Structure 1
Amino acid sequence: MDNIAGQKSALGWAVNIAVVALVLLWTIPTIGLLVSSFRDRDQISTTGWWRALTASEQNVIVRSAPPDAQVAEGDLWVIAGNIFEDGEGEVTAFGVTSRAPTALTPGTVGEMSKDRTMTVDASGNYRITSPVEFSGSRGTRIFATTLTPPQFTLANYDRVLFSEGIFRSFINTFTVTIPATVIPILIAAFAAYALAWMEFPGRALLIAAVVGLLVVPLQMALIPLLKLHNQIGIGKDYLGIWLAHTGFGLPLAIYLLRNYIAGLPREIIESARVDGATDFEIFRRIILPLSFPALASFAIFQFLWVWNDLLVATVFLGNNEEQLVMTGRLRELLGSRGGDWEILAASAFVSIAVPLVVFFTMQRYLVRGLLAGSVKGG
C-alpha cells in the first residue's frame, strides 16, 4: 500500500537533494563574495575566488630602477633589482619587448637595442647591462609572467569603512531601517487586533481593502506621495521615508498579524473579558506575548526589504551625501569604480552582513509565524 502512515515518501530523497541544491545556490555566491573581499585587484582580475588558495599567474609590466641607480662594473653599467615589491613570487617567463613578452625563460639573457642585455631569474631578480651610461629619468620596461602566492588583506575593508564613505551610509541605513521596521509593527498590531476581535461597522470592508492593497505596486504611489511630503514640509527627510516605508509595509503587516491573532484561542479572550479586562489590557497582556512569532516574521520581512531598498530611498532621500544609504553608495561605487571589484566586494559584504545576522537570529520565528497565520484566518 502506498502512503502508509509512518512510511517515508519515495520522493523524500528528491526533496532533500532539491533543498541542498537551493542552499548551495544561495551560499556559494555569498562565500565567493566574502573571499573576493579579502583579495587585491590583481588577483581578482586574473583568477576566480575558488582559486584564492593557489598561486595566480599574471602578465605584468614593471619598470626597473631609474638610471640614477646604475652602478659601474668594469666596462659595463648595470641596473639591478627585483620586480616584486615584497620580494615574493616566481617568474615563469619574461621578455624585453611588447611584441614578445614571454619569449625568454628565467635565467637566460635577452638582447636589447644599443647592445644592452637583460636577464631575469625565477625569483624576480633582474640585471640590465649597457656598454654606455644609462640616461633619462625612467627605468626600463620589463615584461614578465609571474606566479604570485595567495594573498589576503584587510585593506579593502579599511578603505571601504573609513575612506569611501560606506561607514556613514551604514549608519544612515540603520537610521532609516530601524524606525521603518518598528513603526509599522506597532500600528499593524493594533489594527490586526481590532480587525480580528473587535466588532464595528465596516470591518469586512477594511479587511477587503487591506487584501486589495497587497497587490498594488508601490511605484504607483511614489510621486504623488513625494508631492504630498513636499507640500507638508517633510520631503527629502528621514521622517518622510519612515512614513513611506510604513505605508508600503502596513498591508502585509496587517494581513499577516490579523490572520495570526484571529487564530488564537477564543476562550482566552472571552475569559479575560469576563474578568473585566479592557481591549487594551487584552491586547497588551495576552495578544502581544502570544503573537511574538508573527511579529518577528514581519520584522524579518520589513527589515530585509528596507535595508536592501534603493528605489524608495532614492525618491524620498535623494543622493544627499549626508543621507545616502548603503544601496545608493554601492550604486555610486559601481558607477565610478567599475574596475575596483575588490572594493565592490567588500562594500557588498558589509551591506549584507547585517541582514544575514538578523535572518539567522530570527529565522526560527519566521516559519512559525507564517504557518500559524496561513492556516487560520477567522
Structure 2
Amino acid sequence: MTKTSAPKKRPTLTIILGLVAVLWMVPAIGLFVTSFRSTTDAQTTGWWSALLKPFTSAWTFDNYVNAFNGAGAGTGQSLGGEFLNSLAVAIPATVLPIMFAAFAAYAFTFLEFRGKELYFAVIVGLLVVPVQIALIPVLQTYKAITQATGIQITGTYPAAWIVHSAFALPLCIFILRNYMSTLPNALIEAARVDGASHFQIFWRLVMPMSIPALASFAIFQFLWVWNDFLVAYIFLGNGSPVLQQGLLGLLGQYNQGWNLVAAGAFIVLLVPLVVFLSLQRFFVRGLTAGSVK
C-alpha cells in the first residue's frame, strides 16, 4: 500500500498570493471607508487618513440613509424606488431565459432531429456576439412594432427583458445542455419504458436533477442584469431608473457626492451577495459538470 505524499508547502507562493489578494481588496476597502465619511472629509483627505487616525476621524452612517432616501440623487426618485426597479428588471430577465433554454437544452440532449449538431454549433457561436452591436437594430425593431401596432415597447420593462433574455439564451443553453448530457441515461430510458412522456421526464426528472446548472446560470445572469447600466438606460430611460442610474445621480451636479456613491455601492451589493451566498453550493458543480467525459 503506497502512501500519498502531503502537498509541499510553498511559503513564497503563499506570500505572493496574499499580497495580490490584499492589493485586490484595497479599492473595496477604500470604498467602504469612504462610505462612512462626511462629504468634507471625503473631498479634502484620502480615505487612508481615516484609518491612520480612526479615533479622531469623524464617522457617520448618514451616507447610507441619504443614499437610500434619495438625498443627493439627481434622478428625482429615491434609491429605494430604484431598488425595486432593478428587481423588476433582474428577476424576469433571469427566469425567462432559463425557461426557454431548459426546453432547448432538453431537446439537444435527449431528442434526435436533423441538423441538431449544426443548430447547437450556431447557438454556441452566438456567444461571441456582444449586446452592444445589436442595440440600434433592436431599437429600430421596437420602433417598427410601435408604428405597426401602436403598442409602445421602448420605455417599458418588457423592452429590457427581451434584450437581456435573448442574449442570455446561448450561454444558458450551452451550460444546461452540457450538464444534462451527464445525467444517467438509464434513468431516462427507464422513465420512457414506464410510459412517461417527454414533458413528464423533463419536469419530474431532468429539471430537479439540473438544479446545480440552473443555479450557476442564475447567478451569472442575475449579477449581469443587476449590474447593467447600458441596456436599462437605453430601453427604460429615466422613467424607470435602475440602481446603476441612481448611483450616477448620487454624484450630484458637481461630482461631489463620492461618499454617497460609496454608500450606495454597498447598498447595491446587498442583493447580489445574498443571491451568490444562497446558491454558491451549486456554482462550481453546475459549471464543471460535462467538462470531463
What range describes the TM-score normalised by the shorter chain of this pair?
0.7 to 0.9
Deviation at residue 53 of structure 1 after TM alignment: 4.9
Structure-1 separation of matches of 2:108 and 2:12 = 42
Deviation at residue 24 of structure 1 after TM alignment: 3.5
Deviation at residue 30 of structure 1 after TM alignment: 2.6
* 2:209 is equivalent to residue 296 of structure 1: no
The residue identity in structure 2 corresponding to 1:245 is H
**Local SS of the residue matching 2:134:** helix
Q: For the Cα contact (< 8 Å) 1:235–1:316, is it kept in 2?
A: yes
**Local SS of the residue matching 2:231:** helix
Deviations 1:181-201 (A, max 9, x none): 111111111111111111122
**Local SS of the residue matching 2:188:** helix
Structure-1 separation of matches of 2:115 and 2:128 = 21
Alignment-derived partner of residue 41 in structure 2? 43
* 2:64 is equivalent to residue 157 of structure 1: yes
More displaced, 264-273 or 153-162?
153-162
The residue identity in structure 1 corresponding to 2:231 is V
Q: For the Cα contact (< 8 Å) 2:179–2:210, is it kept in 1?
A: yes
Alpha carbons of structure 1 residues 154 and 293: separation in structure 2 relative to 1, 3 Å: same
Structure-1 separation of matches of 2:111 and 2:18 = 45
Q: For the Cα contact (< 8 Å) 2:67–2:250, is it kept in 1?
A: no
The residue identity in structure 2 corresponding to 1:190 is F
Correspondent of 2:119 among 206, 228, 232: 206
Alpha carbons of structure 1 residues 276 and 14: separation in structure 2 relative to 1, 3 Å: farther
Q: For the Cα contact (< 8 Å) 1:269–1:282, is it kept in 2?
A: yes
Structure-2 separation of matches of 1:189 and 1:19 = 39
The residue identity in structure 1 corresponding to 2:127 is L
Which blocks of at least 5 consecutive residues in structure 2 are unaligned? 146-150
Alpha carbons of structure 1 residues 300 and 275: separation in structure 2 relative to 1, 3 Å: same
Task: Supply the RMSD in Å over aligned alpha carbons.
Answer: 2.3
Deviations 1:192-211 (A, max 9, x none): 11111111222112101111
Map 1:240-319 → 2, pairs under 5 A: 240-319=159-238
Alpha carbons of structure 1 residues 360 and 267: separation in structure 2 relative to 1, 3 Å: same
Deviation at residue 224 of structure 1 after TM alignment: 0.7
Higher helix share: 2
**Local SS of the residue matching 1:52:** helix
Q: For the Cα contact (< 8 Å) 1:294–1:373, is it kept in 2?
A: no
Correspondent of 1:346 among 254, 263, 269: 263
Structure-2 separation of matches of 1:179 and 1:277 = 30
Which blocks of at least 5 consecutive residues in structure 1 are unaligned? 57-147
The higher relative CO (CA closer than 8 Å, separation ≥ 6) is in 2
Alpha carbons of structure 1 residues 210 and 166: separation in structure 2 relative to 1, 3 Å: same
Name which one, 1 or 2, has greater alpha-carbon Rg: 1
The TM-score, its normalising length taken from structure 2, stands at: 0.87
Identity %: 49
Aligned residues: 280
Structure-2 separation of matches of 1:34 and 1:347 = 10
Higher strand share: 1
The TM-score, its normalising length taken from structure 1, stands at: 0.68
Alignment-derived partner of residue 110 in structure 1? none
